[in-house]
Chain A
Amino acid sequence: MLKISNLSVSVEDKQILKDFDLNIKPGEIHAIMGPNGVGKSTLSRVLMGDNHYKIDSGEITFLDEDLTKLKVDERAKKGIFIAYQHPREIEGVNNIDFLKAAVDSKNDEPLNLFKFATEVENLTKELKLKDGMLYRNINQGFSGGEKKKNEILQMRLLKPKLVILDEIDSGLDVDSLKIVALSTLDYIKENKDTSLIIITHYPRILEYIKPDYVHIIKDGKIIKTSDASLAFEIEKEGFSKFSTNDIKEKS
């Protein structure tokens, strides 16, 4: 589904990712862990097409298409979804109008308002979001947990093929984390070919969503890949024991 080869990325002449490789097959769940500032969020932004990040070299293919040639909205329409670590608060744009516009853009046929409204209502209940939040400006005045739930609401409505959760667990209380994780899990179960990248510092979310692979990033590249047990090893011993000298096990 997603193949990243020898990817090097810089921001304002500072190199963040260096010869980064990752291969994700349909239905796989990958967790990407690492200390602050090693390039985890850069990876998600580059996949989405944020032009703050410059691709110096390397290739990214998604569903056999060169992703780097697609604009941001084209990537989203093709099936990439990022749940942002810090979702934007947008003044003046009503949440429900935004959701309608997004779903409408994704579909080739005109939006079925009844179907849309029913789906939004059901998901709002499932995610324990207050109804009023749909009619407020995007993320304005939302708590940290509400913002993250709003991201998951968008994910469920847009039905992507590749979901990137960029530190979705940061700023979430225990109950909200469970709601967000279980809703994501439901979506993955309903859509078996959907792949998931979970970027996180902590293994707590991985107790709900079991990854097939856990990768550690350091100095802009993956230095170790293993199964879910690696996340709990990190929890116990921290990142410092892993270095670029570690041999990356093939995923």
Chain B
Amino acid sequence: MNILNIVDGKELNNNLKIKNNKLDLEIKEDLYIKLDSIKDFKINIKVKEDKRIFLISNIDNSKLEINIEINKNSNLIFNYYSKNKNAICNINIDLYENSKIEYYYSTIGTVTKNLTINHNDKNTTSIVRNHGISNNEKQEFNIIEKIYKNVSNSKLKQASKIINLGDNYSTIRPIMLISNDDTEATHSSIICPVNNDDMLYLMSRGISYNDSVKLLTYGFLVNNLELTEEEKKLLDTYI
């Protein structure tokens, strides 16, 4: 796995050239990207085989744009864990014939995430799962998926859930713009507090309120991601 460590607009591990806060990548091996303290950063990624990307971001008051092109007959498993403050993340994914994206996103903190997936060609599949924990911050998930006319046999599956721990409001907008008649599409959106029955079960074993919340939220965020053992270790180091 190649590890890119981008701090303050500079890549520290591979000396990759970053111009105008923009990075172009054609990934040839599985990739781990860690973004820290960046301002208005843009990454363009091309995927031509079956690959995995694991992204961790810790950014404040910034805008992150990621454009991913998944070529014909290619699959991408994209795991993204973010801990941001006042961040806007725009992620655009283009799918081409027989390609597939599995997108698993877990976040804590204030974030507006705009995910757009374009199904540009036939036999494309997208699986999207977003989990957010919001304390006294606002979270907003906008998920737009587009199936164009004559793009046949495409499958869309998305599920988003935000757990509110504090006094706030959050938004999930699942938008599926489908112009073909043989698309299979499902979605679910849930915004809720921590489940009282789960809390009762944990607390009835002597675990304090705060520790019970920690157990539930950690599990909710971390287990949403589909990580390999190596990726899990990287995340544990980070958390």
Contact = CB atoms under 8 A, between A and B. Distances in A.
Interface string B181-207: 000000000000000011011111111
B205 A102 contact: yes
A93 B205 contact: no
Interface string B204-215: 111111011001
A156 interface: no
B197 A102 contact: no
Interface stretch (A8-16, A81-89, A198-206): A81-89
A97 B223 contact: no
Interface residues of A, number: 29
A226 interface: no
A98 interface: yes
B219 interface: yes
B219 A73 contact: no
B220 interface: yes
B198 A158 contact: no
Given A73-B208, A101-B207, A158-B206, A93 B200 contact: no
Contact of B223 (A77, A87, A137): A137
Given A97-B215, A98-B215, A91 B206 contact: no
Contacts, number: 77
Given A88-B197, A90-B198, A48 B204 contact: yes
Interface size for chain B: under 10, 10 to 19, 20 to 34, or 35 or more residues? 20 to 34
Contact of B203 (A73, A90, A93, A97): A73
B194 to A, nearest CB: 11
A92 B204 contact: no
Contacts of B204: 48-49, 72-73, 75-76, 81-82
A170 interface: no
A102 B220 contact: no
B33 interface: no
A94 interface: yes
Interface in A65-112: 71-73, 75-77, 81-82, 84, 87-88, 90-94, 97-98, 101-102, 105-106
A110 B197 CA distance: 28
Contacts of A81: 204
Contact of A72 (B203, B216, B222, B223): B203
Contacts of A138: 201
A71 B203 contact: yes
A98 B216 contact: no
21 contacts: A48-B204, A50-B200, A72-B203, A72-B204, A73-B212, A76-B205, A76-B206, A88-B200, A90-B202, A90-B219, A91-B219, A92-B222, A92-B223, A93-B219, A94-B219, A98-B202, A98-B207, A98-B215, A101-B202, A102-B202, A106-B206
Interface of A: 48-50, 71-73, 75-77, 81-82, 84, 87-88, 90-94, 97-98, 101-102, 105-106, 137-138, 154, 158
